[in-house]
Structure 1
Amino acid sequence: MSERESLNSQLEHLQLRHVGTGHADITKYEWLTNQHRDTLSSYIGHPTFLSMISITENESMGRVRYNLLQRMVNPCGPPPKVKDDMQLDD
């Protein structure tokens, strides 16, 4: 039983420390946004990926880096409307 508690506490610590690992209440939109941002940051951080993209788009590496950074702001479009279930009916 203590092994299970240890694993749960390690998972909670990991989720608190790293934003992209998610938590029990994460929405599909938040999870997808984290995945897209991780992917875009990987492209920016690895010069070979950046070079490949710049060659295929026939753009300079600086322009590709700038475009990828701009896409990181809102990679999945605007967030979905949140339904407020807590409203009381009058």
Structure 2
Amino acid sequence: TGSIVNTPNFPFKEIPVLEPLTFEFHVPVRMLNDCAVAVLGEKMYGAGKGLRNLVYVTLSTGLGGGAIVDGHVLIGKDGNAVEVGHLTID
């Protein structure tokens, strides 16, 4: 949809992102969740550089994950293919 629809940690609802960023910067904009972007960044610039298969796990306000399989970011139907849990850490 190009919008932030629902977030587990913040009370954001229906915040448009894609259209304003595309308009402002005149470049294509893609939206993914934080872990999918993190694993992509790790593959491009970090310890995963040159790897075709990579798993990234994050622990912050919850437990999340991202994966690259055969060189492609694993997204899944709703963009949450590798979310290993929605746990709030207190």
TM-score by length of 2: 0.29
More helix by share: 1
Relative contact order higher in (CA < 8 Å, ≥ 6 apart)? 1
More strand by share: 2
TM-score by length of 1: 0.29
